[in-house]
Structure 1
């Protein structure tokens, strides 16, 4: 593994980055296969009332959970929401605005306090999939 590619090696430039990619892959599996044994065990222990993306380390987390959270940091850089009906994506905290790097909206906390859990669906006309301009302008 440490030899040059010319000498038959695999040429890993930075083991830290390679490790984080593999940990992000585990996080991706937890997101996409919630019925798997691994996802169910971690959900029961670390995020039973939350989602994988909002879970925290809490007190005395296992080494494995800390490692998965490290991989999740990389995973979050490339994740973005597909809005659909907008009932699951948080209006203020989710990265749902498309761009080179998806990001949450920028807002004025005095005008729109970050209270509760508003969803994107609250600024859409129900059933039409169009933006409610009056709510967006607020």
Structure 2
């Protein structure tokens, strides 16, 4: 299990290249990479803040829960902070399990909980100023399936 909260860019392909390899008990690897998107057509960048230490502990607890529920062989969570440009990878989740259903479900669980429970604060930067991104009801609703 690896958790990285970092300001540096990462290469999703390079991160995934060796993930889950060399293990006889892994039959499925699932990954998701989130990109910075501009829903309004006016955003110049996204700025993400977090509390070091607290963020990693919160993500660690979410990953531990996923590993317990689905008997994962491995899990990876990378999340960036700082100023990110449109189209940049913002986060990545990867899960490795014996069977695909466990890998898919665990990855979805991680995504849903990271979106709503990981302590990150996002600010959209535009030519006219900056605004904090509000929590979405749909993200909270997604948690009800777990």
Report the TM-score range of the alignment, normalised by the length of the smaller protein.
under 0.3
So what's the TM-score if we normalise by structure 1? 0.25
Higher helix content, 1 or 2: 1
So what's the TM-score if we normalise by structure 2? 0.24
Q: Which gives a bigger RCO, structure 1 or 2 (Cα 8 Å, sep 6+)?
A: 2
